[in-house]
Structure 1
Amino acid sequence: MTTNVLILCTHNSARSVLGEGMFNHWAQTLGIDARAYSAGSTPSGRINPMAVEVLERAGIDTSSYRSKSWDEFSKPDAPTMRVVITVCDSAAQETCPYWPGSPVQVHWGYPDPSNVGTTPDDKRAAFESTRQVIGERMHTLANVPFETLNDAQLRTLLETL
């Protein structure tokens, strides 16, 4: 059975999208039956172009990516999530909706690369650095033996990653 992971950030325009892209890249590369999705509490309606640029430079197809509400994943017909990860501090502070299946929830905060630097090169470097840091953690997550862990064990493990 596919392990589904939902990555949340308030606007679903950068960090959550980087997490989705990197987790799915690693799951596919490693042959893991897992899938990441991303969403936001108040989606911006667009993916930050710098997030798209750094993912595409890493060889990740972003053509199907879009900024979307987390409400899509709280509906009865939505994929059942095993894990929900918040990646920005404002999303961690918000009350999340009820998630079908009661997934394990964890917060992995990252600074917003949109707020770094003043030049396009500075911002590009911040996005690339964020992609790499998130990518490393998503690689570790993709290697988690989901099927052998109960929720308490999984939560404990995810809090240490």
Structure 2
Amino acid sequence: MTILEARYMKFVHGTWRGGQGPGTAAKPTRDKNPSLQHPYSSRASQETLKISLKEEKAVGLRQQELVQKLQEEIKTLNQWLQNKSSELEGKSADLEKKSTDLQEVYTELEKLRKENEALVSAKGPPDSGICLILYGAAVLLSLLALLVCCLRTCACR
């Protein structure tokens, strides 16, 4: 039921639903008396209905304007979301490439670490070249430290 129909029912029957009940107006009878004629036949009733119709049209126009504004806002938000999505996809691709590069570097470092451990903990015969070099380097460093200490004590005197 539209607003216009509801107003008509209220005006004619005294209720919104058109039923008889307490506080309802009696139905006018058709008579030669102008006050008892059908409500649409009076000039005031016609003006009231015209005003009601204009109000209903104005409300409808406002609703259409609001719907259009909402549709434009939705389009704007959808465009913004698409732009953000594209931007994030680009960043995701960059991060994936960096992740791959870092994985390669990590693999290389792990390989070098294992090689270093193998060299340091190489177990071979006591006269193997690497062991002799390492022992010799330790002895030379100890002798150098003793020499430095001796030079300092001599220089202090």
TM tier, shorter chain? under 0.3
Q: What is the TM-score with the length of structure 1 in the denominator? A: 0.22
Greater helix proportion? 2
Structure number with larger C-alpha Rg: 2
Larger relative contact order (CA 8 Å, sep ≥ 6): 1
TM-score (ref. length: structure 2): 0.23
